Structure 1
Amino acid sequence: MTDQPAPTDVPTIRTLVRLAVPAVIVGVVSALVLFALDWIADIVDKGIWTALPKAIGVDPASGWWIFGVLSITGLAVGLVVWLVPGHGGPDSATTELIEPPLKLAVLPSLALVTVLALAGGVSLGPENPIIAINTALLVALVARLWPAVPSQLIVLITAAGTIGALFGTPVAAALVFTGVVAALKTGGALWDRLFLPLVAAAAGSLTMTLLQHPKFTVPMPAYTTTHPIDILSGLIIGVIATLIGLVAVYVFPLVHRLFHSIGNPVIYITLGGMVLGVLGAIGGPITLFKGLSQMSELIQNRATYSSGQLALILVVKLVALVIAASAGFRGGRIFPSVFIGAAVGVLANALVPSVPMAVAVGCAILGVTLVIARDGWIAIFLGVAVTGSIAVLPLLCLVILPTWLMVSRTPEMRITLPAPAKDPQTPSTPASPSPGA
């Protein structure tokens, strides 16, 4: 591997072929780690929400059980963050999907708090922590096996492999990294830059598909033809969903500041768990967890909910996302935002039944996830993936235009930490690694 190009060089075909094997391994390992984390969380989940209540003869859907479990989850996460070496890693409220690799010593505590949150019903997804865990593990692993491979490249292909595994398809990773590559402006063919991330994403998604068969698409009435009124309906729903997401974005730093002003993580994370417990008792089990299976349940059983109940579920989940992300729990915000978007869409369909379900849900998911993830490709992808309708794609491409104008100059749903003091003698490093490095 002596012919590695500089980070800004266009990769040669020989380089791409030689690095394809490490990329495949990275993708497979990324999926295996995600599967292991999900598997452990599922075991704990079944113990807390099924086996234990059955053993003592209580209803796990009762308000007091939900409150108790989430309060204890908050206490457990708080104790780990306070006392366990690594302290649960960085606060997820301050991180993006792709960050520099953490120290390996941090990973056990980060994995522990992630499992506790996933199993305990906290309204966050696994995306931020699992990408951080995989990045740290694989940068260290590849540094031993292929020391000539740049660590910046491993960060990128690990993130791609993990995103592919999370969504069960390499398409999501390809869309994300199209934006990353475009931002680099380093020249060369786009597909040369995307080649290695796509190799890792394909390996990760195929591995996860073989192990777990993840599925985003929710059965709903087929949508095959767009009518003029659907365009107006989609635009209105997309704008309203975007405004709902923006409420969370603007409230988020205020709530984060309030919790963290307490100082001791045991106190403020336990308090966050108690608030989540109250919200869960009000909204019911459907408002708990990351929201993927709950979204499917909501859409398929939509006829059993009144408009008032749907509005309550929407508000509870929106507040739960803000609280969970603010109170020190570790987890991502994309998965619960998809549930919130789906809830907006189901509510819109309940209020105006003539709006096709695929239009309502797809446009609403686009609006909310665009605000939370701040990535137009992911927003469009999720709108199509959940509805399973290619016919809704042109409409989503139109709806994203006004919604992007609404969010492009607004704050992100992320807390920006003060930049560390810089030594004037320390050379600067590139802001983003090159996928084709």
Structure 2
Amino acid sequence: MDETRPAPRVRDLAILAIPTIVVGVGSAFLLWLLDLAAEGLHDVIWDAVPEAIGIGPDAPLWIFTVLTLTGAAVGAAVWLLPGHGGPDSALGELDAPPPKLIALPSLALVVTIGLAGGVSLGPENPIIGINTALTIAVLARVAAKIPTKLAATLAMAATIGALFGTPVAAALVLTGAVAAVKGGGSLWDKLFLPLAAAGAGAMTMHLLGGSSLTFTLQPMGGVEAIDLLTGTIVACIAALVGLIGVFALPVVHRIFHSMRNPLVYTTIGGALLGVLGIIGGPITLFKGLNETGELLANPDDYSPGQLALFAAVKLVALVIAAAAGFRGGRVFPIVFIGTALGLLAYAVVPDMPISLAVACAVLGITLVATRDGWIGIFLGAAIVGDTTVLPLLCVIVLPVWLIVTKAPEFIAHDERPKAEEAAP
């Protein structure tokens, strides 16, 4: 007996598109507000205060002080505020269960502090959690016929569209999950509402003047057979570098959380991030989007040694930030690391097209972080702004996938007993 549900009707999709677009606009607006708050606090911390006390914002003492105090502030909020800053971002991926409503204010606060203070994490995991929790709660009251799972999918799609500035990213990320949903209709029937949410989110973010993930490098021009070999080598090396972080994160997370009190271990984590910021310089601080643009704007200004240092420091900073209780996502810092590795490959092998080198390195390390070939291909092509690399990336992703497919996910594991897990 065929129990497959019938395909959704055109009328149903058209009606549901209205609340879906509202979800997209609202999700983008909340992301914009979070970015605006973080930028305002950033200007105070890194511009107004240093100028007032007569110290440079890139002075080693200031970098160390700011990151240490950022760790203390985040740790105190996680320890004392209702909701304790939401779930530990290191324990989940982008589609992790949403936080409880009581945790949303403290989660928004600690993410804002971390983004402004220079912590090497992006806003993606927390803002997806915030938007998902609010979408589920609101739609349960005003559009109860929309299932909770669909509401969560719409919020995630809308936020990803806003984060990356295009609904394409959301479509690629969600294709597998949406295709697995039981029910009649084609894949595009199932993608219709998520794409509407993602499109509304992306357009809203553009209208609000949000940041763009797309940069421009010298295009490849023609494609040669050697490009497939060199690109594969660069992508595989980048993936292997990313796997260092994969295996290190659970160990470092366990060490930090053995200290029990978040005020203690997050403050220590902030101090270590301050030391790393001194070693790598200001370009290795923050979530990495603007810093990626800085690298790509003047790729010849950095020596191979500097680029290797940037990548190493950022990877260590990402692991420490995720393990030490800061809230944030790993995609934007990973893109910075991939960009630095790609420019390093180009510096070592100058005959290799620069756009291919960067795209392949971003693909390789993103595949490790997300375990999603589509998003790896998308980010690799989007970062360099050159569609010529797309056919090559679609082939190069295959051997890289063989490297990462059996590796652990880029997350930590909560090894606390259930009783302790329930305690503040």
TM, length-normalised to structure 1: 0.93
| Distance in 2 of aligned mates of 1:417 and 1:244 | 24
Matched, 1:405 2:402: yes
Q: Secondary structure at the match of 1:389?
A: coil
Structure 1 pair 415–184 and aligned structure 2 pair: CA distance change class (3 A): farther
Counterpart of 1:326 in structure 2 is 323
Give the unaligned 5+ runs of structure 1: 1-5, 422-437
Take 2:84 and 2:210, find their aligned partners in 1: how far apart are those partners? Answer: 33
Match for 2:347 among 337, 345, 350?
A: 350
2:89 paired residue number: 92
Query: Is contact 2:86-2:100 (8 Å) kept?
Result: no
- What's the CA shift for 1:302? 2.2
| 1:125 aligns to 2:141 (yes or no) | no
Alignment match of 2:245 (pick from 248, 253, 262): 248
| Other-structure match for 1:370 | 367
Moved more, 183-192 or 133-142: 183-192
Evaluate the alpha carbon distance shift between residue 279 and residue 418 of structure 1 in structure 2; reply closer, same or farther with a 3 A threshold.
closer
1:188, CA displacement in angstroms? 2.6
1:79 aligns with 2:111: no
Q: Is the CA contact (8 Å cut-off) linking 2:4 and 2:184 kept in structure 1?
A: no
Does the aligned pair in 1 maintain the 2:250–2:413 contact within 8 Å? Answer: no
Displaced runs of 4 or more, over 6 A: 418-421
Shift of 1:11: 2.1
1:282 corresponds, among 275, 279, 284, to: 279
Spell out, residue by residue over 1:13-41, the C-alpha distance to the aligned partner (whole angstroms, 9 max, x if none).
22211100010000000000000000000
Opposite residue 219 of structure 1, the aligned amino acid is T
Measured in 1, the distance between the counterparts of 2:249 and 2:309 equals: 20
Partner of 1:17: 14
CA contact (8 A) 2:219 2:388 kept: no
How far has the Cα of 1:417 moved from its partner?
3.9
Residue 434 of structure 1: aligned partner = none
Of the three residues 224, 227, 246, the one matched with 2:224 is 227
Map residues 22-421 of structure 1 onto 2, 5 A cutoff. Answer: 22-184=19-181, 186-417=183-414
Deviation at 1:368, TM superposition (A): 0.5
Q: Normalized against structure 2, the TM-score is what?
A: 0.95
CA contact (8 A) 1:100 1:155 kept: no
3-state SS of paired residue (1:138):
helix
Amino acid at match of 1:348: A
Conserved? CA contact 1:176–1:375, under 8 Å: yes
Equivalenced residue count is 416
CA contact (8 A) 1:162 1:204 kept: yes
CA separation of 1:407 and 1:137: change in aligned 2, threshold 3 A: same
Tell me the amino acid that sits aligned with residue 92 of structure 1.
S
| Separation (CA, whole Å) in 2 of partners of 1:331 and 1:220 | 28
Deviates further, 295-304 or 260-269: 295-304
Percent identical: 57
- 1:239 corresponds to which letter in structure 2? C
Change (3 A) 1:105 1:229: same
Runs (5+) with no aligned partner, structure 2: 419-424
Q: Is the 8 A contact 2:8 2:184 kept in 1?
A: no
User: Which stretch of structure 1 is more off in the superposition, 390-399 or 214-223?
Assistant: 214-223
Q: Deviations over 1:69-115 (max 9, x none)?
A: 00000000000000011100000011221233322111000000000
The superposition leaves residues 325-367 of structure 1 with CA deviations (integer Å, 9 ceiling, x where unpaired) of 1110000000100000000001111111111110000000000
